[in-house]
Structure 1
Amino acid sequence: MATELGDGVWHFELRGVNAFLIFDDVPTLVDAGTPWDESTLRTNLAEIGLTATDIERILLTHYDLDHVGTLDALAADLDASVYAGAFDAEILAGQRAPPLSNHKGAFQRLTGLLTSQPSLAIETIDDGDEIGSFTAYHTPGHTPGHVAYVSRDLNVGLLGDLVTESDGALNPSEWVMSYDTGAVGESIRQLAERAPPFEIACMGHGSPLVSGGSDALDALAEQV
């Protein structure tokens, strides 16, 4: 089911993971679920009067099977570029393999067998880049190329898997699913310090916060 979190900010609850549709300067999909979420994602789009052909931009917070899984299946209907941090963009484009020397990288190498490289333009973004109303913040740790996006205009922070939500509070990405938990903590602190205030907090796992998003991030930053 598609749920409106705020003006033009929609939450799609997929198979154990969240995606979001943002009406920014163009309709923007944020993350793309697992390979088994194509039908559900299309249904969610239809609930708000869209089809995949209406999507003009895709913002990826990071490369993981449950965030890039539908891209290949949707690609034939999409005339949109995919934006991602450099390390993760290279994995998505098939230019780099996740490192077997890291436990998370080895897991990504395995799960990568379940998806295909999408036939879409992949654009690399850097820290501080502006895409529509969003500013990109490089937040490594969960993955080396993880990016969070914050829009002052839309009052929303797209936090990906830098954090998870539980009982209305934010928690840092755990060791088992992170490249580097020390980097996770530093990224949380840096994002809390650098990003403008926002009410709506959108994360990959857990329930999005419709108010007090940056306050919750600040509270977590004091703990990590």
Structure 2
Amino acid sequence: MSPPSDTTWRVPLRGVNAYLVDADGLTLVDAGTPMDVARLREYVERAGYSLAEIERVLLTHYDFDHVGALAGLAEKGLDAPVYASEPDASFLLDEAKPPLGNRKGALQRVLGAFVDVPDLSVERVVDGDTVGPFVAYRTPGHTPGHTAFVHREYGLALVGDLVSGDDGRFGRLPSLVAYDADRNDESVRQLADHLDGVDVVGMGHGDPVRSDAGQRFREYAESL
């Protein structure tokens, strides 16, 4: 079953996607860069809502272009709990630092200087947790706390930077931007087992796969 088009929106930001899903309350998935505050607010209002009506924020991972607008959105009226896996949740709260010994971790440290800690509650999720209508599946590799979120009723999976999308096909993001590219591939294979019945997969970079996406995802996983 495809998600209803009038309750699910891809929000194109500065080189990255966020998503809005209205199901059991309005959910924002990921939050762009610090420069995307106005654009995100505009898209929320264009969809017929206000920032104050967002009931939860799901973070696929801690990266400058996925968490950067949270602090600014909170200043503009967002007042919803944020759900993320460890250690990315602690990176967001500045309770822990990405490791300098990892190339991606070092990049996160540099760009983290431009990310303010949001004045929002942050809830830690673990593999298999249910958050509203979504199930969280840990998918480490791109970051150590990377997480995908699956909405069973809508047949929708939002997978952050686990994969990229182009012309209805899945692909890899460059290994240079991953903590562990091999572990990311293993996460792809593991998530494929949870996508039966999923028709749409939305990712952070590239175009969502909008038809028979679960099967296409499995075929991609088997090719790795």
Q: Give the alignment's TM-score, normalised by structure 2.
A: 0.95
Q: Contact (CA 8 Å) 2:9, 2:21: kept in 1 or not?
A: yes
Any residues of structure 2 matched to 1:176-191 within 5 Å, and which?
Answer: 176-191=176-191
Task: Single out whichever of 62-71 and 74-83 deviates more from structure 2.
Answer: 74-83
The aligned residue for residue 61 of structure 1 is 60
Q: Contact (CA 8 Å) 2:27, 2:57: kept in 1 or not?
A: yes
Counterpart of 1:127, as a letter, is D
Q: Contact (CA 8 Å) 2:60, 2:84: kept in 1 or not?
A: yes
Q: Contact (CA 8 Å) 1:173, 1:181: kept in 2 or not?
A: no
Aligned counterparts of 1:126 and 1:24: Cα–Cα separation in 2: 21
CA distance 1:210–1:7, shift in 2 (3 Å):
farther
Counterpart of 2:68, as a letter, is G
Aligned counterparts of 1:145 and 1:187: Cα–Cα separation in 2: 11
Deviations 1:26-85 (A, max 9, x none): 100000001111111111111111111111100000000000011000113122000001
CA distance 1:41–1:5, shift in 2 (3 Å):
farther
Q: Give the alignment's TM-score, normalised by structure 1.
A: 0.95
Any residues of structure 2 matched to 1:58-137 within 5 Å, and which?
Answer: 58-76=57-75, 77-137=77-137
The aligned residue for residue 41 of structure 2 is 42
Q: Contact (CA 8 Å) 2:57, 2:82: kept in 1 or not?
A: yes
Deviation at 1:21, TM superposition (A): 0.4
Q: Contact (CA 8 Å) 1:58, 1:81: kept in 2 or not?
A: yes
What SS does structure 2 have at the residue aligned with 1:56? strand
Aligned counterparts of 1:199 and 1:7: Cα–Cα separation in 2: 16
Deviation at 1:167, TM superposition (A): 2.2
Deviation at 1:6, TM superposition (A): 2.9
Aligned counterparts of 2:65 and 2:154: Cα–Cα separation in 1: 25
Counterpart of 2:178, as a letter, is S
Aligned counterparts of 1:141 and 1:65: Cα–Cα separation in 2: 17
Counterpart of 2:173, as a letter, is S
Structure 2 residue runs of 5 or longer lacking an equivalent are none
Greater share of strand residues, 1 or 2?
1
CA distance 1:5–1:112, shift in 2 (3 Å):
farther
The aligned residue for residue 218 of structure 2 is 218
Percent identity, aligned pairs only, is 46
